[in-house]
A and B are shown apart, each in its own frame.
Chain A
Amino acid sequence: MFINNDVTKGTVMQERHVVQPNDPGHPIILSTEDLHVFYGKKEALFEGDLQFGSNQITALIGPSGSGKSTYLRSLNRMNDRIATVTGKIMYRGVDINQPAIDVYEMRRRVGMVFQRPNPFAKSIYDNIAFALRLRGTTDKHELDEIVETSLKQAALWDQVKDDLNKSALALSGGQAQRLCIARAIAVKPDILLLDEPASALDPVSTGQLEDTLLDLKQHYTIIIVTHNMQQAARISEYTAFFNQGRVLEYDTTSQIFTNPQVQVTSDYVSGNFG
């Protein structure tokens, strides 16, 4: 604590510090420009300007009410009927925050997993297959295959392969959350948005989930909101620190945790916040 305070006094002086990712191996796949979000008249997000490299994990951290979920939910337009979102969200060179965009198609490219596991009241198999069937995949073999690969990628296959026709509501919390991940990746997205996906899970399930996310990174770009500093440090390459509706600091995760440039970030990651 003492040392940390010293460091704080010595080096931290900026108000805001943003370093966008710049790895040749991980081209930018998604970025936001001048993003503002209003709930009615109340502004909840003031200019979110972040870029995300493909096949990397980015953690969004910050105190409660700082706008992390607001930002994340804007990325796949889940806030459409709830809030007003202005600014650009560039996905592979296309601004997906404009009315002309087919949001249903877009959400299949930018999938989302929620805080509380939300399996549907259907069988495990149908949880994954029914959205595919709705979009015209009716071949049984093809469906079987997608269900199997998705469950394998979500590290759930071995536990449920004999119970695919059982109700998903009978799964444990950790299993249910994996099923939700499998369901999200079955429609073959590029990007996975996760909003505190482990907050309802026990430590063992949480650890397993983190391993799964690290595996998934090969195929997907992952943006995850978390309140767990260790989790952010363990799995992410980049970390954005949100405070009062602003991104105060964005940098590589190791920089954020070992050498933060903004006083508030430093306080927050060292636990001296508030």
Chain B
Amino acid sequence: MNSKKQNKIAIGALYGIAGLVVLILLALLGYILASGLPQLSWHFLTAPAKAFLKGGGVGVQLFNSFYLLILAMAISFPIALGAAIYLYEYARDNWVTTTIRTAIEILSSLPSVVVGLFGFLFFVVKLRLGFSILSGAFALTFFNLPLLTRSIEDSLRTIDLEQREGGLALGLSRWETITRVILPATVPSILTGVILSAGRVFGEAAALIYTAGQSAPALNFADWNPFNISSPLNPMRPAETLAVHIWKINSEGIMPDAKAISSGSSAVLIIAILLFNFAARYVGKRLYKRLTSA
């Protein structure tokens, strides 16, 4: 067999594998959307869930998912940004940074159910936060922090050393160089990383089951005082998210239309995550273009 033939076979095999992966993905998406899309309606997206009767929606769960996401991001982003800047821009390579990096590595490969159980024992029980948005947000922070730190560190790594030296040579301090030269240049890729990790957080269930809880008490969307128990903003209320809802309906749902609601919820979840991914690409590209061209 000559090398030309070998090459052809290899390329064919690689195309085949790639095609198979795409096919599986499309089949999955197609199945979920085909069975879920017909269930979607304005009522489904906004109405509260019903435990025993048919005709419930996922409005509260959808809101909870976004609220938790925003809270988790608000907590984890500043920490991740600080950690990444410290690790990449300031720390020298020694045993301290090696230890931190290893810790991040291990943390990022922990199964999320373990993170959830830790969150349950620590935040829910020990700190007495109960099944609450706050417990969930902290658990999500643990889940998200290592991924986000690594993604921001990777963004910093894409900026040439010459950019940093250019700043220093103008008489800027290291901090000024980082905040005025490096960070602005990395905004597109940091943002892409944030949106992608938002997608992962949005779909996370296992870390939330025992932290944010599995119930979604009805909310009064006219009451925005975070101290009131029925206010959507109250961080101490239990808050089942969309992903947890799907898991719960499928394991113990007793409403007559459980199957339909599960399909509909899955479709919403998939669409949201797809939107996050497309947004990440679009925003990243647009911002990069704005920064680098006319």
Contacts and interface: CB of A to CB of B under 8 A. Distances in A.
A134 B172 contact: yes
B169 A107 contact: yes
Contacts of A112: 165, 169
A180 interface: yes
A138 interface: no
A166 B291 CA distance: 9
Contact of A170 (B166, B172, B173, B292): B292
A169 B171 contact: no
A114 interface: yes
Contact of B171 (A104, A118, A180): A104
A166 B166 contact: no
A180 B166 contact: yes
> Interface extent on B, as a size class?
20 to 34
A130 B293 contact: no
Interface in B164-217: 165-173, 176, 180-181, 184-185
Contacts, number: 69
B293 A121 contact: no
A133 to B, nearest CB: 9
Nearest to A127: B166
A121 B291 contact: yes
Nearest to B161: A118
A184 B163 CA distance: 13
A75 to B, nearest CB: 11
A13 B294 CA distance: 59
Contacts of B181: 120
Contact of A130 (B160, B173, B180, B185): B180
Contacts of B176: 134
A180 B167 CA distance: 11
A131 B171 contact: yes
Contact of A114 (B166, B172, B291): B166
A165 to B, nearest CB: 8
A217 interface: no
B162 interface: yes
Most B Cβ at <10 Å: residue of A105, A118, A122? A118
A167 B169 contact: no
A108 B173 CA distance: 12
Contacts of B185: 120-121
A114 B170 contact: no
Given A104-B171, A130-B180, A118 B166 contact: yes
A167 B172 CA distance: 21
A88 interface: no
Contact of B168 (A78, A105, A116, A187): A78
A111 interface: yes
Contact of A107 (B168, B291, B292, B293): B168
A266 interface: no
A183 interface: yes
A134 B167 CA distance: 12
